[in-house]
Amino acid sequence: MADHLLEVRDLSVRFHTAQGIVNAVNGISWHLDRGETLAILGESGSGKSVSASAIMNLIDMPPGEITSGQILFDGVDLLKKSEEDRRRLNGKRISMIFQDPLGHLNPVYPVGWQIAETAMAHGKPKDEAYARALALMERVGIPDPKASMDKYPHQFSGGQRQRLMIAMALVLKPDILIADEPTTALDVTVQAEVLSLLEELQEETGMGLLLITHDLGVVAEAADRAVVMEGGHIVESGTPRELYHHAQHPYTRKLLAAAPGKGEMRDPASDEQPILRVQNLQKSYGSFAALKGVNFDLHAGETLAIVGESGSGKSTIARLMLHLEPASGGKVLWKGEEILSKTPREMGPLRRQLQMVFQDPTQSLNPHMTVFQIISEAWVIHPDILPKSQWKDRVAELLEQVGLKPEHALRNPHQFSGGQRQRIAIARALALEPDLIICDEAVSALDVSIQAQVIALLGELRDRLGIAFIFIAHDLPVVRDFADHVLVMQRGQVVEHGTVRQIFEAPRQGYTQRLLAAGLDSDPDVQAERRSQRLALAATQA
């Protein structure tokens, strides 16, 4: 049995919390061999990160408690080793990279020093450590590695920071690299690059890679084997191909079905007068132009998706339209009326026609208010919508409309899960009976299965109430089943604008093609095809 590089046997971890004991993982077992990539797939709360924390000795005890199991590394049980021994293993033989590289790099030290520090902490001389750091920075593809050694974390982009984290983790040539959601915070094109970097490095060093992710696409792209977790249990395991084509467990099937980008595409019909015309919209911060003249039209009851990577200016459009920031130039015509030049007072009555659903429902709902207060605030502000006597019934009605229960009205937002909170935020927007709802990354913070439900809800509302949507997303597959038109943005400019069918089936611009190729598909075979496409594209551009 000691053949495996790392083996977790029957591990159970529980946490003592104020609400009682929470069993985070229950008797899970898996193993990882040299040169192999194992993916642990699960949604939030499934306990997918707990076993990694147990391996790295990162569980705080108490409140955590390991109730049973063994973690065998080279045939020795890690859980029986002393703190000191385990610390010596961490970083040297097992190392880890995290989701948020900015949070895990110290902002006050240059990155070269930080990479070298790991080596020095494990007793390497200074020159050797720095030489190794420099070599690694070159290897992970940081431009101008020599000069970059003295730069600070904030001077790098998100993808480069993740590369730096990888370099830091590889300083001591570990046998195992644990990557906890390594690409979740990254743009799609960067995500693909980071994953292929990890793969290359694995081939070079022969390390075992443990990939913790919620993304089926990542599994299809990178994993050799995968285990699927739900509620602290492993429900299924196998190769990505087996899982995709012959999923046994209902949960795995549900997860696969929820992956976006599988349904019918919509064909826009209406060609009446547009309700919204955006003309040459511009925004600059000092000398930096965030938005360089954007034009589009939107018809009543239609959905426009604005897609782009971070920094493309897609959210800025929404913020300018809603007067959350002043625009630097251009026009926004709402039902023929220019609204950018309106004063806050003139804007007041118009606000109820234009609503917004924000990315993170945890932050967009006031924690001090009950759901009833949150939804009815709309009518306090716009008293002409509804007389006070009907508020209670209407709140109940709205809650039912978004798939919640009327008795939820007296609770506070924190008593709901992420998906439910986003439903409350949608109910709040609906309370004003708007003609247009702008969804700013409204589903990107949610788990895949919840994401599918929320999108289905939005689609239903659109068909029933005839509301127009502007759907801002960084991810193309999400908008495929939902939008009528797609606007692809890059660096403050519209790269391509067309119907969904045009964009997905015959993209004209190189950037759109790259974006499509970089998206990860949950089908390993489709994904393999995509990868070759991506490499071909990269080759032609280089």
Partner 1 sequence: MTMTDTSDTVRAEEDPAKPVSGLRRVIAMLWADKLAFVAALFLLVIVLCAVFGPMFLQDMAAKTNLRARNAPPFELERGFFFILGGDALGRPLLARIIVAAQNTMMVAAGAVVASMIIGSALGLIAGYTGRWVGEAIMRLADVIMSFPSLLLAVIVLYMLSPSIANLVLVLAITRIPIYLRTTRAEVLEVRQRMFVQAAIVMGASNFRIVFKHILPVILPTLLTIATLDFAFVMLAESSLSFLGIGIQPPEITWGLMVSQGRQYLTSAWWLAFWPGLAIILTTMSLNLLSSWMRIALNPTQRWRLEIGAKKNG
Which residues are near partner 1 by CB under 8 A?
17-19, 22, 43-45, 231, 322-324, 347-349, 351-352, 354-356, 358-360, 363-368, 377-378, 380-382, 407, 410-412, 414-417, 419-420, 425, 428, 432, 447, 449-450
CB-CB contact of 163 with 190 (8 Å): no
Distance CA 7, CA 479 (A): 40
Q: Which is nearer to partner 1, 192 or 450 (CB)?
A: 450
Q: How far is the CB of 59 from partner 1 (least distance, A)?
A: 17
Place of tokens 């390594």: 182
Q: Which is nearer to partner 1, 104 or 351 (CB)?
A: 351
Residue 520 DSSP code: P
Amino acid at 241: R
Q: How far is the CB of 470 from partner 1 (least distance, A)?
A: 13
The two beta strands, 303-308 and 485-490, are parallel
Q: How far is the CB of 246 from partner 1 (least distance, A)?
A: 22
Q: How far is the CB of 477 from partner 1 (least distance, A)?
A: 20
Q: Which is nearer to partner 1, 16 or 146 (CB)?
A: 16
Q: How far is the CB of 353 from partner 1 (least distance, A)?
A: 10
Q: How far is the CB of 371 from partner 1 (least distance, A)?
A: 11
Please state at what angle helix 188-205 crosses helix 510-518, rounded to 10 degrees: 50
Distance CA 207, CA 164 (A): 18
Q: Which is nearer to partner 1, 450 or 488 (CB)?
A: 450
Amino acid at 68: S
CB-CB contact of 217 with 522 (8 Å): yes
| DSSP H or E run through 181 | none
Q: How far is the CB of 426 from partner 1 (least distance, A)?
A: 12
Q: How far is the CB of 297 from partner 1 (least distance, A)?
A: 22
Q: How far is the CB of 498 from partner 1 (least distance, A)?
A: 29
Token digits of residue 320: 């300018």
Q: Which is nearer to partner 1, 358 or 482 (CB)?
A: 358
Query: Which residue, among 211, 252, 229, has the nearest Cα to 38 in the 3D structure?
Result: 211
Token digits of residue 30: 């898996």
Distance CA 35, CA 94 (A): 14
Helix (H, G, I), strand (E, B) or coil at 56: coil
Q: Which is nearer to partner 1, 171 or 436 (CB)?
A: 436
Helix (H, G, I), strand (E, B) or coil at 334: strand
Q: Which is nearer to partner 1, 43 or 215 (CB)?
A: 43
Q: Which is nearer to partner 1, 385 or 526 (CB)?
A: 385
Helix (H, G, I), strand (E, B) or coil at 73: strand
The two beta strands, 329-334 and 276-285, are antiparallel
Q: Which is nearer to partner 1, 363 or 390 (CB)?
A: 363
Longest CA pairwise span in the chain (Å): 76
Residue 204 CB coordination number (10 Å): 10
Residue 123 DSSP code: T
